[in-house]
A and B are shown apart, each in its own frame.
Chain A
Amino acid sequence: MPPVTLTRRNFLKLGAAAAALASGACSRPREPIVPYAHQPEGELPGVPRFYATAACFVGAAEGMLVESNTGRPTKVEGNTAHPGSLGATSVHGQASVLGLWDPERSKAPRRRGLPATRGALERDIADALARFRDSGGEGLRLLVRDASSPTLLRQLDRLVKRFPRVRVHRWDPLHRDRGREGARLAFGRPLEPLYRLEEAGAILSLDSRFLDDHPYRLNYARQFARARTPRDGQMCRLYALESAPSLVGAMADHRFAMSVPAIEGWLSGKNATYDTIFKDLRQNRGVILAGEALSPQAHALVHRLNAQLGAPVSYIEPPREETQPLADLVEAMRKGAVGLLVILEGNPAYDAPLDLDFGAALAQVPLSVHLSLYEDETSARCTWHVPSTHFMEHWSDARAFDGTAAIVQPLIAPLYDGVSPHELLLLLTGEGKGGYDLVRETWRDTDWDGALRTGVIQDSAFPASPVTPRVSPGSIPSQQQGWQVRFVADEALLDGRFANNAWLQELPRADSKLTWDNAALLSPASAKELGVANGDLVDIAIGERRLRAPAWVTPAQADASVTLPLGYGRSRAGAIGNGVGFDANPLRTRAEPWNAGGARVTKAPGRHEFATTQNHARMEGRDLARHVDLTHMDSFRKERPRNSLYPGWPYDGYRWAMSIDLNACIGCNACTIACQAENNIPTVGKDQVIAGREMHWIRVDRYYEDHRTLFQPVPCMHCENAPCEYVCPVEASVHDSEGLNVQVYNRCVGTRFCSQNCPYKVRRFNFFDHTPKDESLKAQMNPEVTVRMRGVMEKCTYCVQRITRARIEAEKQGRRISDGEVITACQAACPTNAIMFGDLSDEKSEINRAKRSPLQYDLLAELNTRPRTSYAARIVNRNPELKDG
């Protein structure tokens, strides 16, 4: 609850309340109506427009179409044409629009913390360059987070031409160097494996997290879902060995929670399980995916095994990078050999490996310039901080994992006095151009308009190179035994770049359902051994380095190992991100970026209060999130709604309904946050989540049942016999002629009777006033959806605003809404097409096909609520020859 003080606003509210109570009526203030002074070309007020662009969150581009309402970017949708999206979006893609409007973004350049002008910056840099001119750029260094943008690479080449001695370094805390190194061992070149999971009959994931934070996650998720749809009794089987909870493990038919050394040991040392699994892989066109935590040697071995299996994988070659590692830079900085350091994005002072001590070295640099969205930990240590433009504000380009390039086009003029990386580089390369010209020039001989329209540049993917791995990649180095410490990118905050994003902070993590925190994940056995429960503090020490963190127990964690999500414990992230969670970087070294052995974990005094959105993890024998064995699919129990003495609702038009396929759902939460963006759903803060007042309209329930993690997205069921409807005293909760359970906010008085009577508890209540106060945040609001005031009940509406828009368009043309014309926000975002939505009265509609599936069932059907939202049971495809896992 916000601090309880009688501020001016509260006082006014009291006045307003009193007035309202006294008079019972209130006349609205006169609103002005403001036309354009100069009407923009083709702008149609009231009709949103979509622009194709792309952004990199996990090392490769995710294509997107951004919705713009009268010039305000308000919502991100996927781009079907883009291989990094296939129409889906990640949670980060969805949340990025909030980042654009974040009022705490850095607004003006600062020199040593004091406001300064762009001119002064240009002078400073010009002076420095003047000194380098004769030395050929000796002492001029660049640090970039990722160098996949073709235009950026072009600029770097130009820079090298101008200053032959310039050095460009790269540091991405979520780097994939080990995979690259592994490929180099196997093929002599840093190739990237491109899996065709769709064709795979069996998948063995060695801690690979290909659904979590892999650069190609959305594409892989789609392929995986296809591979998992049974065709004539066959479907892809997934084995997962994992050292940290991941979506992959949650989806696995056989899941083994093992520490990284254990996995590598398992991979080399033969054993029964190994033989059974490999037999299966050999028989069913299996493929093996290795994760970044594994050693390069292990990666190389996996490449060789895949070759032996004839696995569906091809190898692509990214353009060779002219960048040096961070370590060299730090060394040079210590020696004082760096005269000018330009840091393009990233936050090395916070996330550089501890043993480098980047911060201290940075102090040695006479002139350092840091370009970033926020004035963060690194900015504070640099001479200059330059606000960066958001990717929705500037021109650039980016490559998907498979190499397909896309143009990053701005949707709005920079809100603040920021520059894009390209524009900052111009100061060094000395070209007199703008960002647009640069990008345009890079793609001189391509169909520019087409690229902007479709969001991809045709045939720009990297060619696959036919290669065969060397025979002996060298043996896997034995790692330190004992307690293992596993570092993973937090699924919401990643490396911490989203720390100030309230949507992501409050997004329940897939496995733990934690919000507003990271936690030291422990297995039940380990927790027992240490005598800790959820919220107890533990000390984690590796050599001299130590860390105190609150523990969270999850069955998905390997014994004698602790997982530490990165991206938290920020000190200069902003009001939202500061001091949330703990910073795991102090344990992270260059040599052991993902897994460190030989740790000591002990119980520490004190407790920490977590905010989780799900307090109970088991189903208590209730048949809620159902799963059925592939071989017994026909035996699946399916309630049919019993007959009723009462007449049903009369419907003469559309009958909207939804089906959620639990077999496809990977629990990635994209639906939750897409819904939040589309429907103006507020975040409430940690204390309110603890109080049980989170607002998400579609939540993803997570149950642990017989060694398996089950996900179940739960939106409003839109019941035919809706318990919420008959209890509302003011007709705020009503049934409409197309079968929606409508919630009329402006009629709701907030008795909360509907929520009391809702067996699914999908209704959300505004216990406080959560409407945005900041003008910038107001600009993100979807104009098609009412912003709910305090004291009002709200819930999933099946995106009624989208239905209405479609209906109006159809009615104008005197036709019916065609199947697939209405796509709900959650459905659009879903990477695996788990959510199906459509009209039941259209016999040929997709939804009807889905509803006819033998695995369909209603949640709590015995209550005879007759939900419009139904589920398709998850299919488990266990290997009969394999007992454990």
Chain B
Amino acid sequence: MAQLFDPPAILGIKLFLIAITLAIAAVWVTFYKALPAHSGLLSPQQPIPFSHKHHVGDDGIDCRYCHWSVEKSSFAGIPSAQVCLTCHSQLFSDAPILEPLRESARTGVPIRWVRVHDLPDFVFFDHGIHLAKGVGCVECHGRVDRMPRIERVASLEMQWCLGCHRDPAPHLRRPQDVFDMASQPPRDASVRAQLASRLLSEQRLTDCSTCHR
């Protein structure tokens, strides 16, 4: 009886199987790469094209001027329209791009900024304690003073948080440097040790209950 599959057919079948395997692998990789943490869209359009580069980099305004509660609260604080207007009632007071700002102040309807650093609701991050322990703004937010439009530089994934919580020493700055965009963690091992000594045990820093409640 005649051979059901001639050699070419068999070859075809084998190639087909290999192709399927490769296809699945390819899909998986692209899909994994497409997870938010790795994708673009880290720097969305904002209702007002606010430039940290200009305000921080050029004008040298301290972070705390606008994010006033960053040391006292878990929440860094987003400036109210009033705060912006302390300057912008004088400067560019009639610039059309600032119209949403003036309108907000007028109507009392807040501006809806797009959240760039968005943690899941079951994660409880506290800005205050991180600053108090010497984790500078740059550590997570990057060189904001060079960002014309704010963008996310860190993945904000759990493994990224853990990376620091497991070995904090290299990420700690001197208390006076935490708001300094240009500052670097001290090289000197003894200083590092001294900074790290103010922390709780690694066990405590990596407990689930440290961030999840």
Show the binding face of A for B, using Cβ within 8 Å. 23, 25, 27-28, 30-39, 44-47, 652-653, 734, 736-738, 740, 742, 744-747, 784-787, 797, 800-801, 804, 808, 811-812, 814
Contact = CB atoms under 8 A, between A and B. Distances in A.
A94 B123 CA distance: 27
Contact of A34 (B72, B110, B201): B110
28 contacts: A23-B31, A30-B114, A31-B118, A32-B115, A33-B114, A34-B112, A37-B109, A37-B111, A38-B82, A38-B105, A39-B80, A39-B83, A653-B200, A653-B201, A653-B204, A736-B209, A738-B204, A738-B209, A740-B209, A746-B120, A747-B208, A784-B213, A786-B122, A786-B212, A786-B213, A804-B209, A808-B128, A812-B129
A738 B203 CA distance: 10
Contacts of B207: 736-738, 742
A804 B124 contact: yes
Give chain A's interface secondary structure class: loop
Given A37-B81, A44-B69, A812-B128, A27 B36 contact: yes
B70 to A, nearest CB: 10
Given A736-B209, A737-B204, A46 B115 contact: no
Give chain B's interface secondary structure class: loop
B213 A801 contact: yes
Contacts of A46: 69, 73-75
Contacts of B132: 811-812
B171 interface: no
B91 interface: no
Q: What 7 A-B pairs are tightest by C-beta distance, nearest first?
A: A46-B75, A35-B78, A46-B73, A39-B80, A746-B122, A36-B80, A736-B207
Contacts of A740: 209
B118 A47 contact: no
B174 to A, nearest CB: 15
A808 to B, nearest CB: 5
Contacts of B118: 28, 30-31
Contact of A742 (B35, B83, B209): B209
A814 B212 contact: no
A326 B144 CA distance: 71
Nearest to B104: A37
Residue from B44, B105, B201 with most neighbouring chain A CB atoms (10 Å): B201
Nearest to B118: A31
Nearest to B106: A37
Contacts of B151: none
B16 interface: no
Nearest to A29: B118
Contacts of B212: 742, 744-747, 786
Contacts of A808: 126, 128-129
B129 A800 contact: no
Interface in B19-43: 31, 35-36
Contact of A32 (B83, B112, B122): B112
Given A34-B112, A744-B212, A47 B73 contact: yes
A745 B122 contact: yes
B113 A32 contact: yes
Nearest to B79: A35
A783 to B, nearest CB: 9
Contacts of B36: 27-28
Contacts of A39: 80, 82-83
B81 to A, nearest CB: 5
Contacts of A745: 122, 212
Given A745-B122, A786-B212, A37 B110 contact: yes
A729 to B, nearest CB: 15
B133 interface: yes
B33 to A, nearest CB: 12
Interface string B158-169: 000000000000
Interface in B86-118: 104-105, 107-115, 118
B198 interface: yes
A35 B213 contact: no
B77 interface: yes
A35 B47 CA distance: 13
A38 B81 contact: yes
Interface in B54-85: 69, 72-75, 77-83
Given A27-B35, A35-B78, A804-B209, 5 more contacts: A37-B107, A37-B110, A652-B201, A653-B204, A745-B122
Contacts of B113: 32-35
B6 interface: no
B188 interface: no
Nearest to A802: B213
Contacts of B115: 30-33
Nearest to A735: B207
Contacts of A35: 77-81, 110-111, 113
A678 to B, nearest CB: 11
A652 B199 CA distance: 13
A784 B121 CA distance: 10
A192 to B, nearest CB: 45
B103 to A, nearest CB: 9
A37 B73 contact: no
A740 B208 CA distance: 11
Contacts of A33: 78, 112-115
Given A30-B44, A742-B208, A797-B213, A44 B72 contact: yes
Contacts of B129: 808, 811-812
Nearest to A786: B122
B132 to A, nearest CB: 4
B198 to A, nearest CB: 7
Contacts of B210: 804
Contacts of B209: 736, 738, 740, 742, 797, 800, 804
Contacts of A36: 80-81, 110
A734 B113 CA distance: 38
A70 to B, nearest CB: 9
A785 B133 CA distance: 24
A792 to B, nearest CB: 10
Nearest to B47: A32
A742 B207 CA distance: 9
A559 to B, nearest CB: 51
A243 B104 CA distance: 64
Contacts of B203: 652, 737
A417 B56 CA distance: 46
A28 B120 CA distance: 8
Contacts of A747: 208, 212
Contacts of B104: 37
A797 B115 CA distance: 30
B48 to A, nearest CB: 12
B175 to A, nearest CB: 11
A723 B82 CA distance: 55
B52 to A, nearest CB: 15
